[in-house]
Structure 1
């Protein structure tokens, strides 16, 4: 159980990492280490293609260490500076989604609950363009190639749920509207193996009802996500972010499943990162 809890904390930490990380440019100087807390509330679909959303709240401490060789929490979980080049970075990609109570979902009533899902795997991040603006700061365009293993957990055990491949085109701009305001836009199609599609869309014979026929899910295209987020400094030590996302699911491999209800879904989130302490020593942001 201790390992499960530690894993859960690391997933929450990854959310804090993403929110804490401002857009880094080559000439930035940042503290070698910093410690703070992260909190956010999200409204998201219960699963891809669901016709019901739910609210979730998360809170977590975060720690950032920017060493000369290894960096932890500096825009990713962990990465080696040795493979951090001017045009590419190799690090770890992480994603997570909240669980859902099937009894609260009209399409899944009577079926097993959906557990908390987390994904982890390597990411190749390639900078393909950068821009400078006279009045709106600087920006960069990235192509991120992400491959992750997916797992579900009810915090008493872990089950492997297949693999996800998710290329992502990401645009980030610092100085949008004001010096400390950052804008991020990303577009990411995703494909998954059959195990993960089974978890969301499979209907076995014992789950069949008069309104829910049997369905054998298959692997393949899952959908494309479009996300936009804005972050800004409320104070020198508190940074606020607001984000919204849309999932475009037309053409999904299992759109014929009786559990698949919507070809487009929406999510929103708002949160804050509060830095408690930081080192006096500074280091390059890259």
Structure 2
């Protein structure tokens, strides 16, 4: 009989992970305010071969309302259309890029971007205990460059499918998610990152005109652990631009990139009022 070295670890793990329904019956404060910090390491931009590590100060407001939520996913306005379909806000951010980046040497610095817009969220499946779910998101966002002035620099959409799982590990509650998304963006947004105008062209950086279209794929995963007034967050993002319309830009130096980070948050203030939380959305 063939040896199966993975059997014992799997049996041990199955005993440590306890799929109990009491995770669904949490009574939590209506609002909380936490402070904390962490570190994040990420590429200068998607397609860059240079990375930087940033300290990550956190002021995290949590609000658990029927039509307004604020949590680790950001601030969301919620409109329930059906039990499985909702309309809410969508936001995403990108760091600034300086000409210290070798590929952009001599070019103008890039301001940080804030992407904000609307999103349809559809829950395609949920387990009977409400501890597991598969969710599909359809966001459409406008990109704003935040500098001395705020200016609009294009549009993007990133349909995403996510699997979310709540479980007990060593009698402690954990939340894990993994998602895959495909990105499409306007020509203006691609020009912001990947265009090379004639005045910026060199012998090694030829003129390049960016166009609208497919912007690659992204895989995300995150792990959360909450214990009393502390929240630990660990996350990673893997980007692939190998089939993006801008993949042949001279500013694209590698086709894959990894972002990793962690945050520790301490909740110091909270409301006396509590609400029943039966699911993670």
The one of 263, 272, 277 equivalent to 1:280 is 272
2:88 maps to 1:91? yes
Aligned match of 2:107: 111
Aligned match of 1:15: none
Structure 2 residue matching 1:50: 3-state secondary structure: coil
2:253 maps to 1:261? yes
The one of 172, 184, 187 equivalent to 1:191 is 184
The one of 38, 41, 44 equivalent to 1:40 is 38
Report how far residue 58 of structure 1 moved.
2.6
The one of 197, 201, 211 equivalent to 2:204 is 211
Aligned match of 1:252: 244
Structure 1 residue matching 2:205: 3-state secondary structure: coil
- Deviations 1:1-44 (Å, cap 9, x if unpaired)? xxxxxxxxxxxxxxxxxxxxxxxx87543211111124231111
- Structure 1, unpaired ranges of 5+: 1-24
Aligned match of 1:162: 154
Report how far residue 206 of structure 1 moved.
0.4
Give, in whole Å, the separation in 2 of the partners of 1:244 and 1:203: 30
Structure 2 residue matching 1:73: 3-state secondary structure: strand
Identify if the C-alpha distance between structure 1 residues 160 and 44 changes in structure 2 by more than 3 Å, giving closer, same or farther.
same
Report how far residue 225 of structure 1 moved.
0.6
User: Post-superposition, which runs of at least 4 consecutive aligned residues in structure 1 deviate over 6 A?
Assistant: none
Structure 1 contact 76–91 (Cα < 8 Å) conserved: no
| Cα RMSD (Å) | 2.0
- Structure 2, unpaired ranges of 5+: 1-22
Aligned match of 2:98: 101
Give, in whole Å, the separation in 1 of the partners of 2:192 and 2:113: 10
- Deviations 1:243-281 (Å, cap 9, x if unpaired)? 112111111001111001111111111112211122222
- TM-score, normalised to structure 1, is 0.83
Report how far residue 213 of structure 1 moved.
0.5
Aligned match of 1:56: 54
Structure 1 contact 76–92 (Cα < 8 Å) conserved: no
- TM-score, normalised to structure 2, is 0.84
- Deviations 1:85-130 (Å, cap 9, x if unpaired)? 431221101000111211x211110001121111000111111111
2:104 maps to 1:126? no
Aligned match of 1:226: 219
